[in-house]
Amino acid sequence: MADTQTIDDAAVARQWEESIASAASDDVPDSFHSGRILDQDEIDSLLGFDGDDTEQNRTGIQAIINSALVSYERLPMLDVIFDRLVRMMSTSLRNFTSDNIEVSIDSITSVRFGDYLNSIPLPAMMAVFHASEWDNYALMTISSSLIYSIVDVLLGGRRGMPQMRVEGRHYTTIETNLIERMVEIILKDMSAAFEPLSPVNFTYDRTETNPRFATIGRPTNAGVVVKLRVDMDDRGGKMEIVFPYATLEPVRELLLQRFMGEKFGRDTIWETHLATELWRANIDLHAVLDERMMSLGDAMDFKVGQTIMFNRNAQDTVEMRCGDVTLCKGHLGRSRNHIAVQIDAVTDKLKASRLLEDAGL
């Protein structure tokens, strides 16, 4: 009898599980049961890779990943600075190589520093340079094609020849020295490009060929990547300049300007009017001969006709105060029918305010 009851319970449990499974399967789309596989376009759309790598068109998971980055567009003055740099580099590199060189900006984007180092195509040269006034570092990456093009031009290579790309070897001393000279020229032009905004001196520090040794910031730190294109007739290559946001922080307020010399929220006409009215404002000036501390009980016992003794006489100096600030000191006297104070000394605070006034502040 017990065995029969156990078999019936097992059958009921099995029927219950089958009913639940059939009900759940009714809620699942037919595409799930059919085993449909997503194609590449649907996968790219899901992940946010739509073929256009602009900052505005990133969607899906890619947009979530890059949501924490600071857009370089919040620093509009960078466009002006690097536009000046491109014009200056074109002239300097023409004089350096004695060849027709055109420099252009491909893009200015934001990126995490660790992701950028992982995306550098090797072999390449990474020049680390130091901003003395900002007390921080930045990075310049020169592609292999540009390195061989510059070396070929400087050493008298023929035009029209296909670019040589030697794999599996390190750069020679001659190639490294020539690229270092070019980097120093570019850094000099970059210092001149930043000069109208903020004086800064970029100095060459070292050259690395391994991205691990070119680390100048934490992998999660954000930075600005400026991609430049250098064309020499049928030769050329790419160059990238990376500024971590920590490096640009000392001049961040200046980079927020939309044009050179912009002043945020300031009106010189209103400032002049306000300063003029302040100097015309009336203040209460008190002549204080002496002060005496006493208890509240003594003050409550004051009577009419009572005399309070001070530790001063008529020949002692009097402090002229505006509120709690002492402006000057002098001697108490009389001018006709009025009490007067002859000023003998001016305090340091009043002297400082006069200096600021003379300086236009």
**251 vs 241: CA distance, rounded Å:** 17
pLDDT band at 188 (very low <50, low <70, confident <90, very high): very high
User: What is the pLDDT of the chain when averaged over all its residues?
Assistant: 77
Q: Which residues contact 316 (CB under 8 A, 6 or more apart)?
A: 289, 290
**327 vs 330: CA distance, rounded Å:** 10
Higher pLDDT: 69 or 107? It is 107
Tens of pLDDT, residues 290-338: 787 888 888 888 888 888 887 777 777 888 888 888 888 888 888 878 8
Task: Name which of 330, 286, 293, 321 is nearest 308 in CA terms.
Answer: 293
Residue 156's pLDDT is: 78
Is pLDDT of 4 > 60? no
Burial 189-228 (b: 16+ CB within 10 A, else e): bbbebbeebeebebebeebbeebeebbbbeeeebbbbbbb
Residue 269's pLDDT is: 78
Tens of pLDDT, residues 148-164: 888 888 887 766 555 55
pLDDT band at 63 (very low <50, low <70, confident <90, very high): low
CATH topology of domain 268-293+310-358: Surface presentation of antigens (SPOA) (2.30.330)
267 contacts 240 by C-beta, under 8 angstroms: no
Name the range with the highest mean pLDDT among 26-30, 141-145, 335-339, 351-355.
Answer: 141-145
Higher pLDDT: 59 or 279? It is 279
CA dihedral 178, 182, 185, 190 (to 10 degrees): -150
Residue 154's pLDDT is: 85
Residue 10's pLDDT is: 67
Higher pLDDT: 302 or 53? It is 302
Average pLDDT over residues 223-251: 87
- pTM confidence score: 0.55
Residue 184's pLDDT is: 92
Q: Where are the domains of the chain?
A: 1-28, 37-67, 72-255, 268-293+310-358
- What's the CATH architecture for 72-255? 3-Layer(aba) Sandwich (3.40)
Lowest-confidence segment of 112-116, 135-139, 293-297, 333-337 by average pLDDT: 333-337
Tens of pLDDT, residues 245-297: 888 888 888 877 766 555 545 567 777 888 888 888 888 888 887 787 888 88
User: What is the percentage of the chain residues whose pLDDT exceeds 70?
Assistant: 71
97 contacts 146 by C-beta, under 8 angstroms: no
133 contacts 250 by C-beta, under 8 angstroms: yes
Helix or strand holding residue 182 (H, E): helix 173-194
Residue 2's pLDDT is: 47
